[in-house]
Amino acid sequence: MPIADADVTARLTELGLELPPPPPALAAYVPCVVHEGTAWVAGQIPMIDGEVVSPGLVGAGVEPEDAAAAAARAALQALSVLRGTLGSFDAVARIVQVTVYVAAADGFTAHPLVANGASELLVDVLGDDGRHARAAVGVGSLPLGSCVEVAVTAAVRG
């Protein structure tokens, strides 16, 4: 069954989640590009009320569980961008690819646990159409000191 905007909206409410307002168009790049069946969402830094969620390095100050929650927030923002750009979740065919960049201390190995925060949110909200191919990697630093950045690619209907 294709993704339906009303179902997704109801599911978000059921999960106690609210889509953050989609970000404004930026100067030199845009939140999302849609071209012939594919939507590329810009890398999301998890923010709440203008503040980065759980900044720092995972494994050196930030707990993996908190980073997973931050990754979930970033994934929620990506959904908000998709809906804002496409006008409705009806236009989303499925999530195809997600890259989760984890700002991690040397020797950190539990990137999958952090990335699951993003992956599980997408599946919780979109069901099977939220399942995606994923890469999770550990980087040394991220914009604004974020502990995680999530880049989402989706297939678009029509």
- The encoded tokens of residue 72 equal 């979930």
Judged by CB under 8 A, does residue 11 bind a second copy?
no
Least gap, CB of 88 to a second copy (angstroms):
19
Least gap, CB of 6 to a second copy (angstroms):
24
What phi and psi values does residue 3 have, to the nearest 5 degrees?
-65, 130
The residues pairing with 86 across neighbouring beta strands, listed in sequence order, are none
Cα–Cα nearest to 106, from 55, 58, 54: 58
Cα–Cα nearest to 100, from 150, 39, 51, 48: 150
Supply angle C-alpha 65, 71, 72, rounded to 5: 95
Cβ-based nearer residue to a second copy, 8 or 151: 151
Judged by CB under 8 A, does residue 79 bind a second copy?
no
Judged by CB under 8 A, does residue 90 bind a second copy?
no
Cβ-based nearer residue to a second copy, 19 or 72: 72
Judged by CB under 8 A, does residue 27 bind a second copy?
yes
Cα–Cα nearest to 71, from 122, 32, 20: 122
Binding residues for a second copy (CB under 8 A): 27-33, 35-38, 40-43, 93-99, 101, 103-112, 116, 119-120, 122-123, 131-145, 149, 151, 153, 155
